[in-house]
Structure formats: structure tokens, C-alpha cells
Structure 1
């Protein structure tokens, strides 16, 4: 999934690209689960539907199933949902969730705004999907948002996805974006909080580790990577009036 917002044209000079993981990096919560809880509490489903769904996903992860495969299982929960219905639900979810203290990680959001002000292309990379990423990207002022892309037939999600935007796929996506924009990866920056972001962080010249993930902290200490704290609620209002094209 790609959203765009005022990205510099092909002939414009590029400073670089700033890549941002989303969940627990740019924002505090895990967007997919926060959205799912909001979406499943609409009264049309039995009590406990969300809890049961999350329990199954957690059990699967606890068995050592790769994160990308758990990501696929999440989208099977949305089989039969309409794209437009999920877009509407995503906007409603964001309107509520973004008001909660701790939704935005202030230090990372401030970095995003700085990159944009300095002329960098700002790209979100996430295992989440359009219902969550579109409103986040619009509010934060990101130019592109690349997430896991659900398979759609006749306007409905099939429950399957293309390639989950997890792990190595983030590194591939970052290198591809740099090639498309004719930017050297060495002039790019990336922010991530989890060991699954290592491929992304390793693909750029200026990796930034957010938070205290043990594996990433070890890499940061060994390689001299910059580190940022997890962050605090953002006090300033977000940008308004940005426009994004949909998938």
C-alpha cells in the first residue's frame, strides 16, 4: 500500500530518504491490534471476539512461528471485509486512538517533521495496512506509506496478503525506494524499535534505534548507531490539510 503527499518531483534535488517503522517507533501502540480491538467492538460480534483472536495470534507467536507468518494470520481475521468499510473504520479508529496520551512518540515524530522540513522524502514502512497507515501518514506528514498489502477481490479482502512488510522485506523496500528516487542508501536514515527492523536499519547510512530492544541496542553499541528513547505524548498539534492518494 502506498500513500503519497507532496513528494518532490523526479527532477527535484533530493537530500535523502527518511524511513520510519510505525508501531512502537513513530506511535506507541501496535496499530493492527489497537485497530482490531476498535473494529471488533462494534456490537455485531459476540463478546470476547477480539480477545479470542489475539489469544490465537499470541499462541502462534509463542510456538516460534515467524513474525511474517503471524502477520499473515492477522489478515485472515479480516476476510470478507470491504476495503471502503475498513478505510472508514480506520479513520474512526485514528480519530479516537490519536487522542490518547502516548499515541505519538514525540522524539520520533519531531525527527519526522525535521526530515520533511529539510527536504527528505519521508516513508513509513510497516507490517500494518491501509486502514491504519493512511490516517497515520496523513497526520504525520509522511510522503509515502508502504505496508502489508491485503489481496482484494470485488472490493473485499480475501484474507490473504502479498508479501508481509516484515523483516528483510523492509530492507528490500528501502533499497528499492532509494533506487526509484535515485538516492544513495548511504544518504538515507531509518528508525526502528524491534529486531525485525534490523534489515531496514542495516540498509541505510544513518540507522537510529528507538527504545530498548536488546538485539538492536547491541548493534547500536557495536556499530555506533544513534539511539532515541521510546518517547512521550506529542504536545503540538499535527499538520492538517495534507492530501494522500489512495491505493
Structure 2
């Protein structure tokens, strides 16, 4: 079957890592920050999550770490980060093979993620994705303000599927989507051919009930989730 559009989450679906956190660690080291800076900032995120701060607000807090940073510099660091991660085996092989097959069939691929351009642009280029739609930082005079327009979390991913399909004149019933976490439910539920990647208990329980396709991934191919906040 040929799909009108193929949507996919990114972190722990297409790649093995939480891109935002791995990039933050790389970026801070590139900037010459002490080793403890990363742990301090991630600790702030973790405490917010543990206290019940909603995922979309946690996503906003993350981007405040980049207030004042030049967008072009972040994009350049993102390319270096991608090269570094690729040497370590960045992609989930099972999903990468599936996306390669979609690309070879000429099916447009749309990446949808709470991450941002520094991480997503090189991943999109490597996978041949048509679009990469992530959380969009507000940029003024070439610098990030620390604020974002809409966190690309949860229901926002489902809305992207509707908009992207409409722009391309595609029927969502003829589209596919890949996701690994219960927060991808809105994206997966928007299409006619959802694929659940990995072993998230909540999402797999839903998949079993709904009769969705599952794509198991090999042991050790995806990192343990260090944070379930974004």
C-alpha cells in the first residue's frame, strides 16, 4: 500500500535518544560550561515534572535555557551534535528501515516532535523527510527570546497531522504515523494506519485494544527514558 503522508515522532521512535537533552549536554560543553551545569538544569526540569507541571509547560521551560542565543549558532552546533551522535549509532534501526522504505516509495515523510530545529533539521535531511515540525522558538533579531509559539506536545501533534494533510490534499485515512509513547496518541489516532514503536505499556495497551500495528525494537536499541517530561 502507498501512503498519502507518513508522520513520525522523533525521540525514541526514529532516534534512540531524547534529542533535546542530549543536545543540551552537547551545547553546554561546546559553550565551555562546567560539567555540573547540565545536571543542574536537568534537575530543574525533573523537579518540575515530579511536582506535576504539565508536559507542555515543561517544554516551554526547556527553551528558556537558550534565551539570547543566536539561532544560526544553535543550528551549527546542531549539525555538530548530529555528527557526534551518528558516530554512536543514533537511529532506531527498525524505524529507520521503515522510513527508508517510505522514502523509496516516494511517500512524503513529516517529522513531528517537541524538539527544535537544531536537532530536527539534520535528522530530517538524513531521513529524507519533507517537513520537520517541532516546537518553534521565538526568534528576534536572530536570537532566541527563550519563549516558544506552541509546544509540539500531545494534542498539538494531532493538529499538525490534520493541517499537514489538508495542505497536501491528503486523506488522513490513507496516512500512516509512527510513535513510541502515550503522548503520541493524538498523532497516531489521527491517521488510518498508526504504528506503535517499542514497548511503552500505556500505548501498547491502547494498540492492542484498537488493533493497531506494532513495531517491536531490539533489546538495547532504545535508551531507557531518562525523563518522561517532553
Same fold (TM over 0.5): yes
Among 113, 117, 123, the alignment partner of 1:126 is: 113
Matches for 1:10-89 after TM superposition, within 5 Å? 15-42=3-30, 44-89=32-77
Alpha-carbon offset, residue 42 of structure 1: 2.5
Note if contact 2:3-2:176 (Cα within 8 Å) is conserved in structure 1. no
Name the CA shift for 1:232/1:20 in 2 (closer, same or farther; >3 Å).
farther
Secondary structure of the residue aligned to 2:188 is helix
Q: Which residue of 2 aligns with 1:151?
A: 138
Alpha-carbon offset, residue 143 of structure 1: 1.0
User: Normalising by the residue count of structure 1, what TM-score does the alignment of the two structures yield?
Assistant: 0.86
Among 95, 108, 116, the alignment partner of 2:95 is: 108
Matched, 1:97 2:85: yes
Whole-Å Cα distance in 2 between the matches of residues 197 and 20 of structure 1?
9
Whole-Å Cα distance in 1 between the matches of residues 31 and 142 of structure 2?
23
Aligned residue pair count? 220
Q: Map Cα deviations across residues 199-224 of structure 1 (whole Å, 9 max, x no partner).
A: 00000000011111111111110011
Note if contact 2:165-2:171 (Cα within 8 Å) is conserved in structure 1. yes
Q: Which residue of 1 aligns with 2:227?
A: none
Unaligned 5+ segments in structure 2 are 222-230
Whole-Å Cα distance in 2 between the matches of residues 213 and 233 of structure 1?
14
Report which of the two has the higher share of helix.
2
User: Normalising by the residue count of structure 2, what TM-score does the alignment of the two structures yield?
Assistant: 0.92
Alpha-carbon offset, residue 59 of structure 1: 0.9
Q: Map Cα deviations across residues 221-245 of structure 1 (whole Å, 9 max, x no partner).
A: 00110111234799xxxxxxxxxxx
Whole-Å Cα distance in 2 between the matches of residues 231 and 155 of structure 1?
42
Matched, 1:161 2:148: yes
Secondary structure of the residue aligned to 2:6 is strand
